[in-house]
Amino acid sequence: MSLSAQYLWIIPALPLVAAGIGALTPRSGRSLVAGAAIVALVFSFFISCAALSTALANPAAHLTHNFIWFELGNDTVRLGWLLDPLTAFMCTMVTFVGTLIFIFSLGYMQEDENFKQFFCFLSLFAAAMLGLLVANSLLLLFICWELVGLASYLLIGFWFHKPAAAAAAKKAFITTRIGDLGFLLGLLWLYDSAGSLLLFDNGNGVLEATALGALGSAATVCGLSVASAIGLLLFCGAVGKSGQFPLHVWLPDAMEGPTPVSALIHAATMVAAGVFLMARVYPLLTPDALQVIAIIGAITALLGATIAVAQHDLKRILAFSTVSQLGYMMLAIGVGAPGAAIFHLLTHAFFKALLFLGAGSVIHAAHHEQDIRQLGGLSVKMKLTFATFAIGTMALVGVPLFFSGFWSKEAILHAAHATAGSHFPFYAALVGVVLTAFYNTRLMAETFFGYARSHAAEHAHENSAVMTTPLVVLAFFAIALGFLGTPAYPWLQARLSGETAVHGHSLLDGVGLLVLSSGLVAVGIAAGFALYGRTRRLRTKATAPDPLAIAAPRTHAFLGDRLKFDELYAATFGVVNTFLATASDWFDRYVWGGIVHFFALLGEFSGTVNREADEQGLNAGFDATSEKLRATGQAYSRAQTGDAHGYLRFLAVGFVVLALVAMWGGVA
Amino acid sequence: MNAVPLLSLVVFTPWIGAAVLAFLRGISPATTRALTLAFSLSTLALSGLLLFQFDPHSLSPQLVERHTWIVALNVHYHLGLDGLSLLLVLLTGILTPAALLASWYHLSPSLPLPLSPSSSPRLFGSLFLLLQGAALGVFLALDFFHWFLFWELSLVPAFFLIKLWGGPGAPRAAYQFVVYTIGGSAFMLVGFAALFVATGTLDFAQLAQLGRDGTLAAKLPGSGHEIVFFGVLLGFAVKVPLWPFHTWLPATYAEAPTGAAMFLTGVMSKMGVYGFLRILWPIFPAPLHYAAPWLSALALGGVVFGAFAAMKQTDLKRMVAYSSINHLSYCLLALFAVSYATGRNVATGPAASAALSGTLLQMFNHGLSAAALFACVGVLQTRKAHALSLPSDTGVPPVSLHDFGGVRTAAPIFAGLCGLSLFSSLGLPGLNGFVGEFLIFRGVFGLHPVAAAIATLGLLATALFLLTFWQRVFHGPRAGVTATAFADLNPIELATLLPLAVLMAVFGLFPGLLTGLFNPLITSWADHLTLP
């Protein structure tokens, strides 16, 4: 099977058509719309597979197809499609995971009255994400990027009658848009310096040697080279989309959407877009820019894992784990290992989709109870969900050798260790490993072990096959995918960097790090069990305080409040924003409006002075004459109807006469 | 010279319609509506002919009609069409019928929601047609004399439309609007009188030639050149409006009836930008260049403060009005950036053509989306009047951000079309608004990066207040006016909004349909940026 880049547009177009069908079908056409969405994505998956086999046949090639969008001055604005291993791997993953999430939604959203609309938006989301992946132009990528933002806005706010969901949707859109403005500026700067936004264009693309060389030799601005500045501005977009510190605040709130949406946002689409963007423009990134990216990634990895320790909401814990894992991916980019970043992105997509769908399964079974203190004891009631969720957790924690997350995290740790730059990211990543093992053990223990601590948890039972089958499939890949990139045979990383040969090394090289990280995982799990897994704890009521809250109540509360980032932003940016809005309005009303009124008053005053002078001084003699004139006037005024309509008719006649004079007068 | 004076037909058919309506006393409201709509559609129909005959690659005005008019003053009746004019004629042709459809209840005293204090559909129809013809005259005239007549005459019907059919504060707002605008125009008139005395011509092309080769500066000794420039500038600055000459706008748009507000923001605000492009920039390249840094700062003020002030508004019409200030300031910012860069020894060609293309696209796209937004607010107004069972002679009620809730549940089709207009207005890619704004930012960044960076604040603030609008009115539980019955769009409202929504999507995906009309013109402008 081989696929020409020319036909790559079909991959995003199929879900887009499904979205169109969804938009035009009446509310009753549930199965038609859901069917169209799933069938379209399945076909996109097949085409993505063809694309993948084409790309793997010659991994170093960047197959492109460019076309003119519109003419601009002496130039044209061109867009295009790009096929290389990065695009192909991502497309395959998105369509595959997406299909499973779609199928799961069939069961999860069964009773929602806007079922049809849900599938319409899901298709739009998938289409935008796939468009972003196949774009060979940063402009097209940006367009799809913003459409991903729109689709996530619609889906996070899907239950828009809930004020919290409406607010979360707006927060997600605005926060990511802050990052997008940086992206836009970076794009403009790149456009201005390179004269094109095509990534690959027979040697003239911005990722090709000519443009990169020209950028590298460009002057510096404020001690930063132009290339670094552009790279960092583009990174702003990724910070917003991929929930990196300091713009991570929207991600946990995005949990207000239905759970399949959370799975889609956190696993396959949206947050992956930022990491993908950085991997895509990797050749543009200078060492300075990479250093910043690595540090932001490390901070995010630590921050997410720390906050997750003190959350009680099942989905929020997973959300912060996403924040943390995305930090790892960015960190990998920053330390010069985009292959490892994408490897982790792919494994994470599967096990995080698994975890979110598993959480959805729990929430659906427990009548929308998602506070882990209210759950418990579900391991016996929902065996399949429990087993698959446990696999997902072990993959996320990085339990050695058998789980995909272990291998992809290993690749990142190795790269962070080997980097020539700062070693802060490396140590942060190690601390993150312990924390991740700890809070996930807590999550498992509280949700699945011990006794049910609420009515909802007592009466939970396993879901139908339409919801559990996707879990099983995802669980399989949460294990299997890791073997694509082990240090012994890093096939995936090799293909992503365009190599046909795979250079592995024995697992015993650098075995110290392997052992160290395995040890750290063990420490985290042991600590988690010690605090949350002991029988005494397991028997307690839902109201019993968290052991950590007893040990350090203030710190725990601070972490529980997510380090008060929302409050901090409200007190700074929020206040500045309100001030600016109030000041703008006040200036308009009183300063600029006041000046206008001053002139108006001045006019009125001089008019009065004039009139009085005329009346008292000059007109007295004329008054007698005027009196007679007035009498005559009154006689005439009977002809005046006082009807605006009549006046307007005269006005209209006047216009027409004027026009006729104009035309005929000219001819004469 | 062509056999059929096509451009005169474009301009005067609406006026003939106005005259016909004025004379047909006693016709039924249904006939009035049909006649008004038919005459207003003439522009769109004739635009089809214009598109057919128009050659975008010919840079001089086409379909020219030039006749001697007043010999003593060297005044000619001179009409001509280029890409810029055609774009705006098209816009007028699309928006006027839409605005009339949005005013259907003003034209139908028998409908349950007549809402208008004056019950004369004939008067409303003829005023609207007068307004349409005047705007078309402005876009096609190439001699100052009758251009100015059209310019000023457009105020008369606008005044009556706002005053007689507007909200409670309409008389005051209409008065302020007309006096402020005429105040600005007075300076422009004096400026042109001085130009005429100095040069003996009022023809735009001839004046531009004199401006380009420096003759104009020589003929206006001392600081006369600059004084004339500022007079003309003031006229246009008030019309667009350029910040801070904008204070008439929020009140006027808020008080105007829906159809008039659509026309004011969609077409009349473009008359100002058109004036900048057609008159001020070509005739005064050097003074504009020297004033450009200051003017850019004012345009940036409009972009940023316009958007932030919008955030503070609770009256929905005032909010949309402020968003218009913000959107049109982008157009001016781009033009000023180009003027600022003129004559500098840098390669400005690609950036300048992007900025100018962006300006033209933004004019057109803002017309579509802002008019659609006003139509949506108009729908909300009628629903509120209905819910409150207002008597028919009280006029339309103002609508606030807090009057509604959950409209998306109650009226999904309306919500869909209004959402599309909102996202078009905030520049979502895939819809029309994005392309213009992207090109403006591309151009301004190339010419003046700092200005582009500051202007992104406006993009952010726009997203904030438009999403607040959307969230408060359409999301959440059904509340306020929406708590009781809230009807979805009726066929007339659908006929108003749907074509606009379709065009937003079409021009978002295929901007080439529009840029193809003016790209050669823009290219020649961008390639010949020189100072005398």
Q: What is the sign, positive or negative, of the torsion defined by CA atoms of A645, A650, A653, A659?
A: negative
Lowest mean pLDDT among A97-101, A331-335, A609-613, B211-215: A609-613
Distances (CA, A) of B459 to A169, B365, B426, B463: 18, 16, 7, 6
C-alpha to C-alpha distance for A87 and A84, rounded to whole angstroms: 5
Higher pLDDT, B126 or A565: B126
pLDDT for A99 equals 92
Q: What is the pLDDT of residues A369-409, one digit of tens each?
A: 888 877 877 777 888 888 898 899 988 888 887 888 888 88
For B513, which residue in chain A has the nearest alpha carbon? A70
- Sign for the CA dihedral angle at A371, A375, A381, A383 comes to positive
- What is the CA A494 to chain-centroid distance, rounded? 28
Residues in chain A within 8 Å Cβ distance of B15: 652, 655-656, 659
A interface test, pick of B20, B23, B67 with most A CB neighbours within 10 Å: B67
Distance from CA of A660 to the nearest CA of B (A): 10
Say yes or no for a CB contact (<8 Å) between A184 and B456. yes
Collect all residues with Cβ–Cβ distance below 8 Å to B488 and sequence separation of at least 6: B410, B411, B412, B413, B414
CA distance A651 to A664: 20
Q: Helix B449-474 and helix A575-586: axis angle, to 10°? A: 90
Q: End-to-end CA distance of chain B, in Å?
A: 33
* pLDDT digit string, tens, across residues B293-328: 999 999 999 999 888 888 888 888 999 999 999 999
Q: Which of B75, B50, B73 is nearest to B63 (CA)?
A: B50
Q: Residue A463 carries which side chain, given as an amino acid letter?
A: N
pLDDT for the residue numbered A294: 92
A390–chain B nearest CA distance, Å: 37
Q: What is the pTM of this model?
A: 0.88
CB contact under 8 A, B475 and A666: no
What is the reported pLDDT for A236?
A: 92
pLDDT beyond 50 at A91: yes
Using DSSP's 3-state secondary structure scheme, residue B113 falls into coil
List, as ranges, residues 350-369 from B with C-beta within 8 Å of A.
350-354, 357
User: What pLDDT is stored for residue A485 in this prediction?
Assistant: 79
Distance CA B113, CA B532 (A): 59
Candidates B22, B442, B526; nearest CB to A652:
B22
Q: Whole-number mean pLDDT of chain B? A: 86
CA angle B43, B48, B49 (to 5 degrees): 100
Nearest CA-CA distance, residue B275 and chain A, Å: 22
**Contact across the interface for A656 and B15, Cβ inside 8 Å:** yes
Q: Please tell me whether residue A8 adopts helix, strand or coil conformation.
A: coil
pLDDT of A668: 42
| B residues 182..241 contacting A (CB < 8 A) | none
Whether A664 has a pLDDT exceeding 70, the answer reads no
Query: How many Cβ pairs closer than 8 A exist between chain A and B?
Result: 206
Q: Collect all residues of chain B within an 8 Å Cβ-Cβ radius of residue A648.
A: 22, 123, 126-127, 160
Mutate to test the interface with A, among B116, B246, B311 (most CBs of A within 10 A): B311
Closest listed residue to residue B463, CA positions, set A210, A146, A531: A146
Q: Can you give the pLDDT at residue A554?
A: 80
Strand partners, A313: A371
B102-161 pLDDT, tens per residue? Answer: 887 766 554 444 444 456 788 888 888 999 999 999 999 998 888 999 998 998 899 888
**How far is C-alpha B11 from the chain's CA centre?**
17
- Residue ranges covered by each domain of chain B: 6-527
Are the beta carbons of A645 and B526 separated by less than 8 Å? no
DSSP B278-290: IIIHHH-HHHHHH
The answer to whether the CB atoms of A71 and B512 lie below 8 A apart is yes
Residue B183: partners with Cβ closer than 8 Å, 6 or more residues away: B238
- Contact between A73 and B349 using a beta-carbon 8 Å cutoff: yes
**Nearest chain A residue to B424, by CA:** A150
Q: B253 at the A interface (CB within 8 A)?
A: no
Q: For residue A119, what are the contacts with CB-CB under 8 A and spacing of at least 6?
A: A18, A22, A33, A34, A36, A37, A102, A105
Helix (H, G, I), strand (E, B) or coil at A12: helix
Sort residue A245 into left (φ over 0), alpha (ψ -120 to 50) or beta.
Answer: beta
Q: Do A663 and B8 touch (CB under 8 A)?
A: yes
Other C-beta atoms within 10 Å of A1: how many? Answer: 11
Q: Could you tell me if B165 and B124 are in contact, meaning their C-beta atoms sit under 8 angstroms apart?
A: yes
Least confident range from A264-278, A588-602, B423-437: namely A588-602
Q: Could you tell me if B398 and B317 are in contact, meaning their C-beta atoms sit under 8 angstroms apart?
A: yes
Question: Helix A338-365 and helix A271-280: axis angle, to 10°?
Answer: 170
pLDDT score at A336: 87
8 Å CB contact of B460 and A177:
yes
Out of B127, B180, B430, the one facing A596 most closely (by C-beta) is B180
pLDDT of residue B115: 44
Mean pLDDT to the nearest integer, B437-443: 92
Helices H / strands E in chain A, number of each: 30, 4
β-strand pairing of B75-81 with B62-70 = antiparallel
Touching check for B13 and chain A: CB below 8 Å?
A: no
pLDDT: is B509 or A454 the higher one? B509
Chosen from A588, A601, A661 to mutate, greatest number of chain B CBs within 10 A: A588
Does A1 have pLDDT greater than 80?
A: no
B1 pLDDT band (50/70/90 cuts)?
very low
Whole-number Å distance between alpha carbons of B149 and A269: 58
pLDDT (tens digit per residue) in A17-39: 999 888 888 888 888 888 899 99
Q: ∠ CA(B186), CA(B273), CA(B12), 5° rounding?
A: 75
Say if residues B319 and B472 touch (Cβ distance below 8 Å).
Answer: no
* Pairwise CB contact (< 8 Å): B126 & A648: yes
pLDDT 10s digits, A623-643: 767 777 777 777 666 555 556
Q: Cβ A665–B468 below 8 Å, yes or no?
A: no
Q: What is the pLDDT of residue B117?
A: 45
Chain B stretch 80-109, residues whose beta carbon is closer than 8 A to a beta carbon of chain A: none
Q: Is A575 exposed, middle or buried (0-12, 13-18, 19+ CB in 10 A)?
A: exposed
**Chain A residues within 8 A of B160 when measuring between CB atoms:** 644, 648
Report the pLDDT averaged over residues A484-490: 78
Q: Name the percent of chain A lying above pLDDT 70.
A: 91
Q: If you average pLDDT over residues B275-283, what whole number do you get?
A: 91
Taking contacts as CB-CB distances below 8 angstroms, the residues of chain A near B5 are: 663
What distances in angstroms separate CA B64 from CA A664, B137, B182, one per listed residue?
Answer: 16, 13, 29
Q: pLDDT: is B404 or A660 the higher one?
A: B404
**For A584, nearest residue in chain B (alpha carbons):** B309
Summarize the confidence of residues A217-236 as an average pLDDT.
82
Q: Calculate what percentage of chain B has a pLDDT beyond 90.
A: 29
Q: For helices B316-341 and B285-312, what crossing angle results, to 10°? A: 150
Question: Residue B64 carries which side chain, given as an amino acid letter?
Answer: V
Q: Is the distance from CB of B101 to CB of B371 less than 8 angstroms?
A: no
Cis peptide upstream of residue A470 (ω within 30 degrees of 0): no
Retrieve residue B105's tokens: 């209840």
Question: What string of DSSP letters covers A428-480?
Answer: HHHHHHHHHHHHHHHHHHHHHSS---SHHHHT-----HHHHHHHHHHHHHHHH
Q: What are phi and psi of B166, to 5 degrees?
A: -80, -170
A chain contacts of residue B349, beta-carbon cutoff 8 Å:
73-74
> Residue holding tokens 């994005």?
B434
Half-sphere exposure of B204 (CA within 13 A, CB side): 27
| Chain A residues in contact with B525 (beta carbon < 8 A) | none
pLDDT for the residue numbered B116: 47
pLDDT at A619: 65
Whether A566 shows a pLDDT value over 90: the answer reads no
Taking CA–CA distances from B457, the nearest residue in chain A reads A181
pLDDT of residue B112: 43
Distance in Å, alpha carbon of B21 to nearest chain A alpha carbon: 9
pLDDT at A586: 85
Tokens of A555: 């710190």
Mean pLDDT value across chain A: 83
Contact A33, A134 (CB under 8 A): no
Please give the average per-residue pLDDT across A172-181, as a whole number: 89
Provide the pLDDT confidence category of residue B245 given band limits of 50, 70 and 90.
confident
Helix axes B170-199, B224-239, angle to 10 degrees: 150
8 Å CB contact of B460 and A663: no
B448 to chain A, any CB pair closer than 8 A? The answer is no
**CB spacing of B512 vs A69 below 8 angstroms:** yes
Return the bridge partners of B79, or none. Answer: B65, B141
